Structure 1
Amino acid sequence: MSEQPGKARHRRNRKALAVAVPLALTAAGTMAYGTDLGLLGEDAQRTASAATTAAPAWATATADGFASVNSLGQNGTYGGRDGQIVTVKTQADLEKYATATQPYVIVVAGTINMNPVGKEIKVQSDKTIVGAGTTGQIVGGGFFLGQGVHNVVIRNLTIRDSYQGVWNDKDHDFDAIQMDGAHHIWIDHNDLRHMADGLIDVRKDSTNVTVSWNKLSDNNKTFGIGWTENVKTDITVHHNWFRETEQRNPSTDNAAHAHLYNNFLEDVAGTTIKSSYGNYSRGRTRMVLENSYFQGMNNPVTKDSTAAVVQKGNTFVGTSGRNESGGTAFDPKSYYGYTLDRTADVPALLRSGAGPRGSIGTTGTTGTTGTTAATKAATTLTVAKDGSGQYSTVQAAVNAVPANNPSRVVIAVKPGTYRETVKVPANKPHVTIQGTGGSRKDTVIVYNNAAGTPKPGGGTYGTGGSATVAVEADDFQARNLTITNDFDEKANQNLSGHQAVALRTASDKVFLDGIIVNGDQDTLLLDTAAKDRLGRVYMTNSYVVGNVDFIFGRATAVIDRSVITLKKRWNGTSAGYVTAPSTAADRKGILIANSTVNGDVSDRSFYLGRPWHAGGDASLDPQTTVRNTSLSAAIRTAPWTDMSGFSWKDDRFAEYRNTGAGAGSAGSDRPHLTDAQAAGQEVADWLAGWTPTAS
């Protein structure tokens, strides 16, 4: 996007919750309701079948390890298997069933964004909370299991992104799963990442806990056990993949019996997160550590002088620092049976097997007529640079999607750097491009076209044509990957047109979830198919990086619970503009909510936005609202400015209840919404009846 010089033109100076619904009958027998898709609301319920059916295997699964040991009046851990199976799609319904006194198997179908950020639902005893295949996500919050809570299973969920922009956060105790005095808990096949505090905290004499087959990544204080003077906790930690985690992997303090086996601890070279230590036996802990694989870890195994670690069969590759053992521990087989996998097989085993499974939480028996999917299965196309997928480029997979496809196609992209441009044309809706790595940094789509880059057939690409990834199809989703334009401005000073788009969207119902969009000038172009067409975009739990007008366009776009990173320009100077909306007069523009704006730039050097009247169109009414967002000192005290002869004061720019060093009080150069105005500028108002759901 470039400025259009000219003289000034002057012009005139809630949503309903989805209901929880029964998914299948339990073994005890209850009424079952269903549709062809297996999920329904009150408006779609059919007549119930009176047949009694058996619950699916995932609803009756039981824990292994110390969670299977009978004690404290509880015989093993099986969660809510004796109760009704219900499906939830809203926070209200999840809380309703998780906090109930009776047993439930609670299936989370889709993404639930927690409000307020950091909220931990207080789960009561006899519950199974399970994700529907790979779609169940809890974003910006988690679960709390308090004193005496027991027999709880948390499986197959992605719980992520309560991170508040401070790595060693002392102010936000936002965990994925926290236990204070709970017992008989099984945490299995989850993807836990990017929280403000711990991914798992097992505290205050919580015991009979098993943590298995989880991915834990992108976090500082990852997995803490203990913090008590008592020596009561019995815990099993097996087949977990720790990746890009700094400390507490886990840290085990005063645990009576800690059995760790077949875990994979990986510190990846070249990433920004460096391991401080791996497995730590503290206080009077007795730890048995078996057949685990440590790759690149600093201080892979440490112990206090009062603690014990007995090591057997572990492998250490590229590690450094402390690797300790000593003392007398215990024999886990005197408590429960288990089988060790070969240590050499652990990395491949966990890369393929840890985290949510598509087979869990997605099917339920429906009498003698077979099974019904809880969510309609998507077609999956795999992409891998090494030839192990169906396609070696992302564009080849997009090309393979049939025109006018009626249902979801997931393009699963294995970790790697894909130097290519990608275009999803308008006749290929319902496409998801999803990285399959443990981090959004693992899968990168990158190219370096700029507006002034010559095209092979003549002419130049222009701003819109420079995009690394261009999306023109409705109902598009991107997840768990990085999209970058790495055009080198310094090396191309002779080139006219340095606008270089990483991602361009020109369609409706675009869901960007857990991604990084990285560039310099004009990083993220949020457009519509035409001036008179609606184009809604919802971005959450993501990062946008840039310096000049790097979030811009005419779409109705929400950036929610994300981090906007300000970047210095090619010559090292700090000056820029976050947004440049070109909104039509009857549309909503850009809403930044519940987010953080920061970066390594000079104080008071960036504007929050300026009005882009594309092509000098005086009929446009650009809009940016920034609300409930933390602003660093980089933001100017007068945060809005004019553009190409158009005054920002003639358009729609406002703030509401922002915080941080860059926030300021209301004034003529800094308009704030009133409470009444803010009530009409919520996320739901922007989305206008659309509820983004991962699929």
Structure 2
Amino acid sequence: MVLKLLFLMVLFLNANSLSMPETFNGFLVPEEDYLKWLKHMGSFKHSLFQKAKNKFKPCLTMKVSSKPRSGEFPTVQKAINSLPVINNCRVVISISAGTYREKVEIPATTAYVTLQGAGADKTIIEWGDTADRVENGRPLGTFGSATFAVNSPYFIAKDITFKNKAPLPPSGALGKQAVALRISADTAAFISCKFIGAQDTLYDHIGRHYFKKCYIEGSVDFIFGNGLSLYEDCHLHAVTTTFGALTAQKRQSFLEETGFSFVNCRITGSGALYLGRAWGNFSRVVFAYTYMDKIITPRGWYDWGDKSREMTVFFGQYKCSGPGADFGGRVAWSRELTEQQARPFISIGFIDGHEWLLN
């Protein structure tokens, strides 16, 4: 009975979204429809404000191979599609070495999925969509451009590269957002993964997320969204030839428990890079114990062309090093944090990790 009700709800909501498409600058915005769905189901409030409980002991293991044998799957999406509509136990999908040219999406009800690669340089999932690509008569938009999209909670990925192979767009080009991975669910962890792209590489959309020993490459806003996320021991690499920005965090209210924290990370690359742009009125980003190469512009941060945001954003750094870490030239509305101010941002407590991350 529950499955039938869920199925009817999805059909009803899909019908509404098809009959009343929303657009922005000529692009469809399926993201807004998705957020309405989350609000309707109560998942967003439930996942962020009630205690999370993860499951680590696997009930099922599966294998994906580019040269599949009996019982193995040839693509990641086929393995995902074989799972129950509502999945309530940990499923481990082992992906052998190879380049998998496919676009993958994990549905909202398929929770507790672990993807285990053979190494980030050996297991690669890639596609090449951009926001302006037209499919079924409509542009995909940034939300729909993702090579890999996760809509379900308690997702784990290890030792995999997620890549959007769309070329680096020229400066000022429109519609060239090209997401490698979009995480639109709570309580997700990425360990020793790589995210390769140019504009808008990693869509850290909503929910609590943990990135450990990951490599993230891009040009403009290549880590963006409204997640509550901790990046620990990660390598952040810019590939812009002009000006770029590492983050674009979209916290819109003082009451929102979202923000990005980078701890013990390393920033390298080319061009001139802002640490972040204030996508949201209350954007919140902190860098701690992070090495910053000379590519970091002295001002460090950009207000998105809205001076009022300088009064409400929270941009800070704590005990960072390297030629780009000098706080002397930073904008006056950023902060050099004290130990007390930095403390909430530099442990897994920032993302309530003691509830769902520790095994």
Q: TM-score range by the shorter chain?
A: 0.7 to 0.9
Distance change (3 Å), C-alpha of 1:426 and 1:675: same
Give the corresponding residue for 1:412. 94
Give the corresponding residue for 1:641. 302
Task: Check the 8 A contact 2:189/2:210 in 1, yes or no.
Answer: yes
Distance change (3 Å), C-alpha of 1:381 and 1:545: same
Q: What is the Cα deviation at residue 683 of structure 1?
A: 2.4
Give the corresponding residue for 2:264. 594
SS at match of 1:567: strand
Give the corresponding residue for 2:145. 466
SS at match of 2:142: helix
The one-letter code sitting in structure 2 at the alignment partner of 1:659 is S
Give the corresponding residue for 1:681. 345
Q: What is the Cα deviation at residue 691 of structure 1?
A: 4.5
- Looking at structure 1, the residues matched to 172 and 274 of structure 2 have their Cα atoms a distance apart, in angstroms, of 27
Alignment of 1:497-576 (within 5 A): 497-528=175-206, 535-568=207-240, 573-576=241-244
Task: Check the 8 A contact 1:611/1:646 in 2, yes or no.
Answer: no
Distance change (3 Å), C-alpha of 1:489 and 1:376: closer
Give the corresponding residue for 1:425. 107
Give the corresponding residue for 1:631. 292
Task: Check the 8 A contact 2:344/2:350 in 1, yes or no.
Answer: no
Q: Does 1:442 align with 2:107?
A: no
- Looking at structure 1, the residues matched to 223 and 61 of structure 2 have their Cα atoms a distance apart, in angstroms, of 31
Distance change (3 Å), C-alpha of 1:385 and 1:494: farther
SS at match of 1:680: helix
**Normalization by structure 1: what TM-score?**
0.41
The one-letter code sitting in structure 2 at the alignment partner of 1:467 is A
Distance change (3 Å), C-alpha of 1:647 and 1:493: closer
Q: What is the Cα deviation at residue 665 of structure 1?
A: 2.9
Q: What is the Cα deviation at residue 647 of structure 1?
A: 4.8
Q: What is the Cα deviation at residue 444 of structure 1?
A: 0.5
Give the corresponding residue for 2:8. none
Distance change (3 Å), C-alpha of 1:646 and 1:432: farther
| Residue ranges of structure 1 left out of the alignment (5+ in a row) | 5-374, 529-534, 614-619
Distance change (3 Å), C-alpha of 1:443 and 1:690: same
Task: Check the 8 A contact 1:567/1:574 in 2, yes or no.
Answer: no
Alignment of 1:491-502 (within 5 A): 496-502=174-180
Give the corresponding residue for 2:355. 690
Distance change (3 Å), C-alpha of 1:537 and 1:403: same
Give the corresponding residue for 1:240. none
**Normalization by structure 2: what TM-score?**
0.79
- Looking at structure 1, the residues matched to 336 and 162 of structure 2 have their Cα atoms a distance apart, in angstroms, of 33
| Residue ranges of structure 2 left out of the alignment (5+ in a row) | 1-23, 26-55
Task: Check the 8 A contact 1:552/1:581 in 2, yes or no.
Answer: yes
Number of aligned residue pairs: give it: 300
Task: Check the 8 A contact 1:630/1:658 in 2, yes or no.
Answer: yes
- Looking at structure 2, the residues matched to 508 and 527 of structure 1 have their Cα atoms a distance apart, in angstroms, of 10
Structure with the largest fraction of helix: 2
Q: What is the Cα deviation at residue 640 of structure 1?
A: 0.3
Give the corresponding residue for 2:279. 612
Q: Does 1:476 align with 2:155?
A: yes
Task: Check the 8 A contact 2:282/2:309 in 1, yes or no.
Answer: no
Task: Check the 8 A contact 2:58/2:91 in 1, yes or no.
Answer: no
Larger gyration radius, structure 1 or structure 2: 1
Distance change (3 Å), C-alpha of 1:493 and 1:636: closer
Task: Check the 8 A contact 2:156/2:190 in 1, yes or no.
Answer: yes
Q: What is the Cα deviation at residue 487 of structure 1?
A: 0.8
Q: Does 1:380 align with 2:54?
A: no
- Looking at structure 1, the residues matched to 95 and 218 of structure 2 have their Cα atoms a distance apart, in angstroms, of 25
Distance change (3 Å), C-alpha of 1:494 and 1:639: closer
Q: What is the Cα deviation at residue 543 of structure 1?
A: 0.3
Q: What is the Cα deviation at residue 669 of structure 1?
A: 5.5
Task: Check the 8 A contact 2:176/2:199 in 1, yes or no.
Answer: yes
- Looking at structure 2, the residues matched to 377 and 670 of structure 1 have their Cα atoms a distance apart, in angstroms, of 45
Q: What is the Cα deviation at residue 682 of structure 1?
A: 2.4
RMSD: 2.3
